Structure 1
Amino acid sequence: MSNENYNDEIDLMQIFGMIKKTFKSFLRSIISVIVFYKKKWILFFILFVVGGVTGYFIDQNQDTKDKYVQEIIIEPKYNSAKYIYDFIEELENNFQDDNFLKNLGISLDHAKNIKKISIEPVIKGTDVLDNLQERYKNREFFKDIMTAYEEGKLEEEGFRDFYKHHKLTINFNKASEYNSKMISSILGYIKSNKYYQKISNLTLKQKKIDIERNKKSLQFIDAYLSNLEKAPLKAENEAIIISSGSELPMVSIASLLQKKELLIELINDQERALILDKEIFSFVDYGDVISKRKKLLNRMMILIPLLLIGLFSLFYFLRYLNREIKEFVKDE
């Protein structure tokens, strides 16, 4: 039994000895690394400075390639999304036409400063659901939703009219005082479409007529309810209005109150449309031309110095490893 305990103690001592030896080797390696960088600090400092300067100039060069961008969010009216998309997508080709540029009121030199112009929907699933519900009021529209509402198809052309808002993104090659003027001219040209102007004028004219009719109906209901307050009905059965025309149905007071609320909401929507729906689209957010420099600055200025220091550290490590292997082979 004592021999077994003695053997166990020897095994434990050997294990602790191995751990101690390993720990010392680890500490020795750390100290060697610190001493190495301490000896070579001038070299790595030069590498850090050279890498930082190089990275700075690379950052500046990257910024000038895609530096200025403008984002505008619009809300198309009168089912004009397809027309707006087609116009934007063909804009680059149309810039080659002198007559087109003349109609826009911009020169070819200024147009060349537009690197890229694109438009995409601001995707909101609720917009699709609201549109489907409006289209299929008297049908089993939830079945249509299950068929149509697939995330992979939300950006397809067939869904463009479903979204209320669309983002127009313009990238410029360089800063220019004409950038904002060009975009204003392009958007103004889109709004000048005669077909949609006629639709807008006709729709607004009809809305004005509808507002007057709805206001007269609202005045009639208010007048009747006001008279009712002055001479309240004595019996519950009297809470019914019988229309003078025999072809019209009887109307209850409860339905009148409900009709009043609906008329107020409808008039508010129509008056809002008179202001917001005057043109083919309205602006939700008209962003300024901004620089993307802040997003790119210092990225390469930090990456390149670290890369240079890492490469030189790897070089010295491999050289040290090669020397150790040669000594090991020589000892063998």
Structure 2
Amino acid sequence: MNIESTEEVNLKYIFRKLEKAFKAFLRICVSIFQFYKKKWALFLGILIIGFISGYILDSKYGFSKKYTQEIIIEPKYESKKYIYDFVNSLKDNLKEPSFLKRVNLDSNLVKNLYDVKVNPIIKATDVLDNLHRKYGSKEDFHEIIESYDPRVLEKEKYRDFYRYDRLVFVYRTNHTDNLKLSKNILEHIDSNSYFQKILDQNITQTEKNLKENKKTLKYLDDYLEKLNKAPIETDKDLIMIGDESELPTISSLLTRKQTLLNTITNQENILVLNNKLFDVVDRGEIVLLRTGISKKMIIKMPLLLFLMVSFLFAIKKMPSRIIRYINS
């Protein structure tokens, strides 16, 4: 019986203490509310001053700085989709140690990479050239292209229409090895084994065709020279080009020669210009990019001034409250 009464007394004591603490907490909340209600004009002015000073500091020092490098590339051999897929998944792949090893990159260097993206350089002439190659010149494609929204033309189904693409690397800091990172990534893209087989086969076939066409060109030159020197004695040396019923004339042979020269020029261009998966048209330098105001101080300054003034008022009233507490 004594034990139960003792427990009951202890519970009542605990509840009284909790009730007293709760009332004290409520008194504090009410007093804080009354204080700010009384000083609302002062603290409103402090907040306004804080916002203005924070905006000034952000405008002068608070720009979010990033460093960007733009590289213009010209994809070849229908490799555009592969390049886009590779770049779009690059940030995730850079988290894998095995991938970093293949690309020959250091993990510390990769941490400096903020973003990487690739977008087509939209030119209406590129689209028109593709449309005319596919459908001829029967329709007025200019009006169709002009009616399209540029955001629509950026979609994946139009990518192959454009000749050039812009590859953008964004870095957090201007590190000396940033150029190495972009260089190694481009070299890794260019070393794709599947496209290398296509590239090697195309180069080999082009070299073979070029050799044969040069032989044919030499034969035509020799024949035209012979025909020019002895036009009457060439009946027995006539060659047949095209239908058997058609005899070659100087005009037709010259046309054939010009066609052959154009073909040889195109093949030489392939060997010189199309010997890689893509060509780097322009490799830009790393430049400072201000991405906008960080808006850090515009939030911190009003809060800091608000807390400082509140703290000063609290210190000012602290001695009198301590004395009242001691006397009570």
TM-score by length of 2: 0.64
Alignment of 1:82-231 (within 5 A): 82-136=81-135, 140=136, 142-143=138-139, 145=141, 149=145, 151-152=148-149, 153-231=152-230
* Number of the residue aligned with 2:275: 278
Do the aligned residues in 2 keep the contact of 1:69 with 1:290 (CA within 8 Å)?
Answer: yes
SS of the residue 1:279 aligns to? coil
Q: Percent identity?
A: 37
Do the aligned residues in 2 keep the contact of 1:94 with 1:100 (CA within 8 Å)?
Answer: yes
* Number of the residue aligned with 2:285: 288
SS of the residue 1:270 aligns to? helix
SS of the residue 2:175 aligns to? coil
* Number of the residue aligned with 2:79: 80
Do the aligned residues in 2 keep the contact of 1:101 with 1:108 (CA within 8 Å)?
Answer: yes
Do the aligned residues in 1 keep the contact of 2:67 with 2:289 (CA within 8 Å)?
Answer: yes
- Give 1:132 deviation, angstroms: 2.7
**Which amino acid in structure 2 is aligned with residue 170 of structure 1?**
F
Which of 244, 248, 251 is residue 254 of structure 1 equivalent to? 251
* Number of the residue aligned with 2:23: none
Distance change >3 Å, CA 80–CA 144, structure 1 → 2: farther
Instruction: Provide Cα deviations, 1:151-179, integer angstroms capped at 9, x if missing partner.
Output: 23321211111211111111111110111
Task: For 2:199 and 2:245, locate their aligned partners in 1 and report how far apart those are by CA, in whole Å.
Answer: 34
Gaps of at least 5 residues in structure 2 are 1-48, 299-328
Task: For 1:101 and 1:248, locate their aligned partners in 2 and report how far apart those are by CA, in whole Å.
Answer: 66
Distance change >3 Å, CA 80–CA 246, structure 1 → 2: closer
SS of the residue 2:240 aligns to? coil
Task: For 1:55 and 1:171, locate their aligned partners in 2 and report how far apart those are by CA, in whole Å.
Answer: 27
Distance change >3 Å, CA 109–CA 219, structure 1 → 2: same
SS of the residue 2:62 aligns to? helix
- Give 1:135 deviation, angstroms: 3.4
Task: For 1:279 and 1:174, locate their aligned partners in 2 and report how far apart those are by CA, in whole Å.
Answer: 31
Distance change >3 Å, CA 284–CA 54, structure 1 → 2: same
Task: For 2:244 and 2:208, locate their aligned partners in 1 and report how far apart those are by CA, in whole Å.
Answer: 25
- Give 1:211 deviation, angstroms: 0.6
- Give 1:55 deviation, angstroms: 4.2
The number of aligned residues is 241
Do the aligned residues in 2 keep the contact of 1:119 with 1:166 (CA within 8 Å)?
Answer: yes
Distance change >3 Å, CA 66–CA 249, structure 1 → 2: farther
Task: For 1:253 and 1:56, locate their aligned partners in 2 and report how far apart those are by CA, in whole Å.
Answer: 81
Task: For 2:165 and 2:116, locate their aligned partners in 1 and report how far apart those are by CA, in whole Å.
Answer: 13
Task: For 1:279 and 1:244, locate their aligned partners in 2 and report how far apart those are by CA, in whole Å.
Answer: 37
Task: For 2:255 and 2:65, locate their aligned partners in 1 and report how far apart those are by CA, in whole Å.
Answer: 57
Task: For 2:98 and 2:241, locate their aligned partners in 1 and report how far apart those are by CA, in whole Å.
Answer: 65
Distance change >3 Å, CA 54–CA 159, structure 1 → 2: closer
